[in-house]
């Protein structure tokens, strides 16, 4: 089956600023594909090129076999795009907006069900200007999905939503995917990426650092476990760093912090026992996608791009 989205060697600069520097990626039918990266990494520029909203300097893009620039009209019918808040007339009511957008498509989705799923059912008669920021955000998701698109591109899906609305939105997106829509999600929320995405492209400074499943990215950053304990008597770091399953040892006051793969706990407790050292207050944390992100890019997901 041909990929739903194929991006090859995409380049885009703004004046002297290189925003996208040779990005290639492939999105498969029916998956939720995440584009993850710090602020300014080039995520939005990449998806705007895919949507046909920006003209690349170089590279090739196909969406459902179509060229986003030359086949724009055809693609608009099959692609759902979440636009930023503030693009609707202030006096338009929520239901009117959805009915208007429905009329653009041959087989629109059920807008009442969308409103329900997004917790906006009681806002159908509310004017756009009277909606809160989070409600406008949810309406923009509904409008992206109203055409029953084959592919939906959602940029900062749940930014500005409270935790409950965020979880409801995730459920809605999973439902949309289970009915066959392929979804591209631009995000810097780790929890969202981990919960929703089948695969992720980690983008940093305009380049794809890695593409993998959330678990695969964590594994490839080689930070399986973090173990903390207070040794019953002084322990030489070298005892631990010499273990092949251990990647690093640091200290936090009296605590020893060991990073290693999924076998590190076993290896550490064995070597301590052999040396008659008891690991008191022992705690084991599984590394998160956020740990992997920091390890792979050297910065936090919501941190600025230093270029």
Ligand X SMILES: Nc1ncnc2c1ncn2[C@@H]1O[C@H](COP(=O)(O)OP(=O)(O)OP(=O)(O)O)[C@@H](O)[C@H]1O
* 299 lines the binding site for ligand X (CB under 6 A): no
* 201 lines the binding site for ligand X (CB under 6 A): no
Shorter beta-carbon distance to ligand X: residue 161 or 258: 161
* 247 lines the binding site for ligand X (CB under 6 A): no
User: Which span (33-41, 164-172, 249-257, 285-293) binds ligand X, by CB under 6 A?
Assistant: 33-41
Task: Output the CA–CA distances (angstroms, integers) from residue 61 to 47, 95, 175, 277, in the order listed.
Answer: 11, 35, 28, 59
> Could you tell me if 249 and 239 are in contact, meaning their C-beta atoms sit under 8 angstroms apart?
no
Could you tell me how many residues of this chain bind ligand X (CB under 6 A)?
13
The site map against ligand X for 257-286 (x = CB under 6 A) is: ------------------------------
Give the nearest distance from C-beta 140 to ligand X in angstroms.
15
* 301 lines the binding site for ligand X (CB under 6 A): no
* 123 lines the binding site for ligand X (CB under 6 A): no
Shorter beta-carbon distance to ligand X: residue 43 or 136: 43
User: Which span (37-45, 126-134, 159-167, 278-286) binds ligand X, by CB under 6 A?
Assistant: 37-45
DSSP 3-state helix, strand, coil percentages of the chain (rounded to 5)?
Answer: 35, 30, 35
* Rounded Cα gap, residues 160 and 101, in angstroms: 24
The site map against ligand X for 130-169 (x = CB under 6 A) is: ----------------------------------------
Which phi and psi (to 5°) does residue 5 adopt? Answer: -130, 135
Which phi and psi (to 5°) does residue 78 adopt? Answer: -110, -10
* 43 lines the binding site for ligand X (CB under 6 A): yes
Scanning the chain, the segments in alpha helix (DSSP H) are 43-50, 72-78, 94-102, 111-117, 133-145, 163-178, 190-196, 214-220, 237-241, 264-274, 289-297
CA dihedral of 231, 233, 237, 241, whole degrees rounded to 10:
-60
Shorter beta-carbon distance to ligand X: residue 77 or 307: 307
Give the nearest distance from C-beta 170 to ligand X in angstroms.
19
* 39 lines the binding site for ligand X (CB under 6 A): yes
Would you tell me which residues interact with ligand X (CB under 6 A)? 14, 17, 19, 37, 39-45, 188, 305
């Amino acid at each position: 089956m041909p990929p739903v989205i194929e991006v090859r060697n995409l380049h885009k600069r703004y004046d002297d600023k290189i925003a996208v520097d040779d990005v290639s990626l492939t999105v498969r039918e029916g998956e939720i594909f995440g584009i993850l990266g710090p602020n300014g990494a080039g995520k939005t520029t990449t998806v705007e090129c895919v949507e046909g909203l920006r003209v690349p300097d170089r590279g090739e893009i196909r969406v459902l076999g179509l060229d986003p620039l030359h086949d724009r009209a055809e693609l608009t019918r099959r692609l759902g795009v979440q636009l930023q808040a503030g693009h609707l007339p202030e006096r338009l009511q929520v239901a009117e907006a959805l009915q208007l957008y429905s009329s653009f498509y041959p087989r629109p989705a059920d807008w009442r069900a969308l409103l329900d799923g997004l917790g906006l059912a009681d806002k159908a008669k509310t004017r756009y200007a009277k909606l809160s920021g989070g409600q406008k955000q949810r309406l923009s998701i509904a409008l992206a999905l109203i055409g029953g698109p084959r592919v939906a591109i959602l940029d900062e899906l749940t930014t500005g939503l409270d935790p409950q609305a965020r979880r409801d939105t995730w459920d809605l997106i999973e439902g949309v995917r289970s009915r066959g829509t392929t979804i591209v999600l631009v995000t810097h929320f780790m929890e969202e990426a981990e919960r929703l995405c089948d695969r992720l492209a980690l983008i940093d400074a305009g380049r794809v650092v890695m593409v993998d499943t959330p678990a695969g990215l964590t594994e490839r950053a080689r930070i399986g476990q973090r173990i903390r304990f207070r040794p019953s008597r002084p322990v030489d770091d070298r005892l631990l760093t010499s273990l092949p399953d251990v990647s690093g040892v640091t200290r936090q006051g009296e605590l020893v912090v060991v990073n290693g793969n999924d076998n590190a706990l076993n290896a550490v407790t064995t070597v301590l026992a052999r040396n008659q050292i008891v690991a008191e207050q022992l705690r084991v944390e599984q590394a998160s996608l956020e740990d992997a992100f920091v390890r792979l890019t050297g910065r936090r997901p919501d941190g600025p791009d230093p270029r």
